[in-house]
Structure 1
C-alpha cells in the first residue's frame, strides 16, 4: 500500500491529499458510530450489570444472614452452658460456706438455727400440753393459767433469742508457795 501511495503521490499530489482526507473522514465516522453504539448499548450493559450486582448482593446478604444466625445460635448455646456452670459453682460455694459456718458454730458451742427452731417447737408443744392439763384440773382458773403459760413461753423465747454464748473464762492458776522451813536452831 505504501508503494501505491508513493506512486500516486509522485503523479498527483492532490489525489493523495484527497485520499488521506477521505480515509480520515471514514475513521472519524467509524469512531462516532462506535461511540453512539457504545452509548446505546452502554445503558443496556450498565443496567444488566446493575441487575447482576443486585442479585449478587441479595445472595451475599442471604449467606451472611445464615452465617450470623448460625453464630448467634452458637453463642446462645455457649452462654447458656457458661451460665449453668456459673450457677452450679455459686451453689457449691454457698454449700461450702454454710458447712463451714455450721462447723464453726458447733465448735464454739452455739446452737444452729435448726436446733433453735426445733427447741421452739418443743417448747410450744409442752406449753400447749401444760395449758391443756391445767385447764382440765381447774376449769375456773383456766384462762388465768393459759395467760401465765403464754407469758412464760414468750419470756423464754425472748430469753433464748437474747442468749449469747461467751467463751469460758480461763482459770487462773496460782502457784503455791512452798514454805521453806529453816531448821530450828539447836537448843542452847
Structure 2
C-alpha cells in the first residue's frame, strides 16, 4: 500500500503541486495516530499495575466467598450423613435386640420341651425348700443347713433324681410297714 501511495504521490508531483497539501495531511494524520498509540501504551503501562492489583483483590474476595459457601455445603452434607448413620445404627440395634429376644425365646422353649427347669423354676424350688426347712425347724426338728441358689442351671438328670428320691423313700417305708 505504501508503494501505491508513492506511485500516486509521484504521479501527483508530476501533475503538480496540488497533491502536496493532501500528502502532508496524511502524514500529519499518521503521525497523530502513532502518537495516540504510544500514549495509550504508556497509560496502559502506568495503570496496568493498578488494574492488575484491583483484579487480584476481586479474585481473592470471590475465592473467600466461594470457600465459605463450599464449607457450608460440606457441613450440611456431613450433618445429613451423620444423621442418616445414626438412624441406620439405631434401626440395626433394634433389629439385633429383636433377633436376640427371638433366639432366647426359642432356646427357652426348646429347653422346656426337654424338661430342663428354668432359672425361675429353680429359684421357686429353693424358696419352697427354705420355707419347708423353717417349718421343720419350728416343729422341733434339727436345723438343716440352708442352701443357697446355685448360679448355674440345674441339669435334667439331677432334677429327675430329686423327684424320684422321695417316691422311692415312700415306697420303701410303705413296704417296711407292710412287712
TM (norm. structure 1) is 0.59
Structure 2 residues without counterparts, runs of 5 or longer: 15-19, 161-179
State the 1:6 CA deviation. Answer: 3.9
Residue 51 (str. 1) matches residue 57 (str. 2): yes
Q: Following the alignment from structure 1 to structure 2, what is the Cα–Cα distance between the partners of residues 74 and 161?
A: 48
Partner of 2:155: 164
Bigger fraction of residues in helix? 2
Partner of 1:40: 46
The number of residue pairs the alignment matches comes to: 146
CA deviation profile, 1:56-96 (whole Å, cap 9, x unmatched): 11221222122222212211221121111101101110111
Query: Which residue among 109, 124, 139 is the counterpart of 1:103?
Result: 109
Structure 1 residues without counterparts, runs of 5 or longer: 139-144, 169-188
1:1-188 equivalent positions in 2, closer than 5 A: 5-6=6-7, 8-9=9-10, 11=13, 27=34, 30-131=36-137, 133=138, 137=140, 145-146=142-143, 149-150=144-145, 153-154=146-147, 164-165=155-156
Q: RMSD between aligned alpha carbons? A: 3.9
Moved over 6 A (4+): 1-4
TM (norm. structure 2) is 0.62
